[in-house]
Chains A and B, each alone.
Chain A
Amino acid sequence: MKVMNKALEDEILLIQKEYPNFKVSKQVDKFIISGLLEILKFGDYEIEIDIPIDYPKSHPIIREIGEDIPKINDRHINGDGTCCIAIKYRITRYLQEDTSIVNFIETKVKPFFANQLYFEATGKWINGEYSHGIEGIYEYISEELQIEVPLIKRLTSIARKSIINWNKTCPCGSMKSIKKCHKIDIVKIKKIIFE
């Protein structure tokens, strides 16, 4: 049986203090937090959050259990109610810097549901949305690296290789070797998509 670490147990205590209406149940391999998440004073969503015992290495799983939001890709809710609150890599990076679960709820989970409320009212997302699937990932990488999507796709096809020949000509058209051109970007793409 896996042992819950003390830091995680302390985090759970903080959650109970910060959100007294949430219920917390402990299972062998995770905590489950559930309750009504209030978005300012404009609406509540019934949610469940699984915090795995190897958090933050494994990400929390958030579910909308009130059946208020259609379980479709366009609403970023999977068929089983799990929520795609952000691109996985962004969550990983966030959790590397801040492991507070309370902060995670306030800065990632609540805004996701606030965005859902906004979408209900306006038909739009507050800051737009990424396309579904890999196209969305390319869009994100394009924003991060300030490189156009077509080049991102060509760099990705190099990044997916297990052994990369850095001396090959860079596909960007510079005529330089990859090593002297977009090597750093390929390394970043590898991290975002393949790790």
Chain B
Amino acid sequence: MTNHEYLKSLLDNEKIDHTVEETKSTRKEIKDFLINYYSKDKNPDYVYSGSIAKNTAIKSKYDIDIGILFNNEDFDSLQGMFDDVKAVLKKEYGSASIREQNVSIRVQLNSHDIDIVPCRRIDNDKNDVFLHIERTENTRIQSNIHNHVDIVKNMSELDIIKLLKLWKIQKAIKFKSFALELLVKKAFENESKIGLDKKFEYMMKYIRDNIDTISLVDPSNSNNNVSDSLTDNQKNNIKKYAKRALIAIDNDKYEIVFDNSNGIYTTEDSVTEIKTAYESTEKPWSN
């Protein structure tokens, strides 16, 4: 099996199956409830977001979100909007099923997690919105869910995004999916490679060489530099795993890239080199 075929087989194994239909059905149930509730006076629009909407979902992890777009006069404040949606969902599904998150409210229903993102239109004729942010100093952020979904789902490198997501899960790398999507978009802006393996290797090199200084600006909000929210630890962590992946790839060991080990691969030669270079190292001891 070639490396390209191996990566293709990983993607095939991660294809979304019929179980997503149950999740979609739960999403519809919640959406129908919200439509019914808010149609009386506010009549917001709804947009599906998350990896299912963006075509980046993998079986190991996918999210299925609903953005609810209120007009800008529907609430006195963004906090008021967020609290109202939260209260409505709590009343319908019970407090135990509701969890407040950064910009969304998670509903656990029928063993599925659906995130509801309350949004307030900036201009009622357009899809630019403000989201309320909980538990931070900045209380709002500007976004455009429609734009985000369209940009990602129309990217030519969706397979690379999916492979990166799988890699991220296997290595427990903490890195926001949106940041990853923007990273792939930027990496392939002026680059074209043939073959999943060549593309993936290129992406690992791109992360290794650029993650420390890269600027990932939200296409819907030029004031939002997504890379600013990445901590040094997160950048170091993903860079470390990218470097390890490249060593494994150099030695034709793709399986190490995608297993749940720490990704370290050493050859006999490298072991010999380490021993020679550090032949006078201290004997370790612990208490």
State the Cβ distance, B14 to closest chain A Cβ, in Å. Answer: 25
Chain B residues lying within 8 Å of A167, measured Cβ to Cβ, are: none
Determine whether A56 belongs to the interface, using a CB cutoff of 8 Å to chain B.
no
Chain A residues lying within 8 Å of B212, measured Cβ to Cβ, are: 21
A46 contacts B285, C-beta separation under 8 Å: no
Determine whether A108 belongs to the interface, using a CB cutoff of 8 Å to chain B.
yes
Determine whether B77 belongs to the interface, using a CB cutoff of 8 Å to chain A.
no
State the Cβ distance, A161 to closest chain B Cβ, in Å. Answer: 23
Chain B residues lying within 8 Å of A41, measured Cβ to Cβ, are: 247
B282 contacts A118, C-beta separation under 8 Å: no
Determine whether A95 belongs to the interface, using a CB cutoff of 8 Å to chain B.
no
- Do A43 and B287 form a contact, CB below 8 Å, given A112-B281, A122-B271? no
Chain B residues lying within 8 Å of A86, measured Cβ to Cβ, are: 282-285
With a 10 A CB-CB cut-off, give which of B236, B243, B280, B283 has the most chain A CB atoms.
B283
- Do A46 and B237 form a contact, CB below 8 Å, given A39-B274, A118-B271, A120-B264? yes
Chain B residues lying within 8 Å of A34, measured Cβ to Cβ, are: 232-233, 236
A84 contacts B287, C-beta separation under 8 Å: yes
Determine whether A85 belongs to the interface, using a CB cutoff of 8 Å to chain B.
yes
B266 contacts A120, C-beta separation under 8 Å: yes
Size of the B side of the interface (Cβ < 8 Å), in residues, is 30
A129 contacts B285, C-beta separation under 8 Å: yes
Determine whether A3 belongs to the interface, using a CB cutoff of 8 Å to chain B.
no
Determine whether B244 belongs to the interface, using a CB cutoff of 8 Å to chain A.
yes
Determine whether A130 belongs to the interface, using a CB cutoff of 8 Å to chain B.
yes
Stretch at the interface among A10-18, A65-73, A144-152, A170-178: A65-73
Determine whether A162 belongs to the interface, using a CB cutoff of 8 Å to chain B.
no
A76 to B278, CA, bound (A): 18
A118 contacts B274, C-beta separation under 8 Å: yes
B233: which of A65, A108, A121, A132 is its contact (CB, 8 Å)? A65
Q: Which residue of B lies closest to A132 (CB)?
A: B286
B266 contacts A43, C-beta separation under 8 Å: yes
A111 contacts B237, C-beta separation under 8 Å: no
Chain B residues lying within 8 Å of A112, measured Cβ to Cβ, are: 281-282, 284
A164 to B133, CA, bound (A): 69
A 40-97 contacts with B by CB, 8 A:
40-46, 65-68, 73, 76-78, 84-87, 90
State the Cβ distance, B250 to closest chain A Cβ, in Å. Answer: 10
B283 contacts A114, C-beta separation under 8 Å: no
- Do A84 and B286 form a contact, CB below 8 Å, given A118-B271, A126-B279? yes
With a 10 A CB-CB cut-off, give which of A34, A36, A65 has the most chain B CB atoms.
A36
Chain A residues lying within 8 Å of B262, measured Cβ to Cβ, are: 68, 120
A127 to B275, CA, bound (A): 9
A128 to B279, CA, bound (A): 11
B247-280 interface code vs A (CB 8 A; 1 in, 0 out): 1000000000000001010100011011101111
State the Cβ distance, A140 to closest chain B Cβ, in Å. Answer: 7
A87 contacts B285, C-beta separation under 8 Å: yes
Q: Which residue of B lies closest to A35 (CB)?
A: B236
B236: which of A46, A85, A137 is its contact (CB, 8 Å)? A46
- Do A46 and B233 form a contact, CB below 8 Å, given A117-B264, A132-B287? yes
Determine whether A115 belongs to the interface, using a CB cutoff of 8 Å to chain B.
yes
Q: Which 5 residue pairs spanning A and B have beta carbons closest together?
A: A111-B281, A130-B285, A76-B284, A121-B266, A84-B286
Please give the residue numbers on chain B whose beta carbons come within 8 Å of chain A beta carbons, in ascending order.
172, 212, 232-233, 236-237, 239-240, 243-244, 247, 262, 264, 266, 270-271, 273-275, 277-287
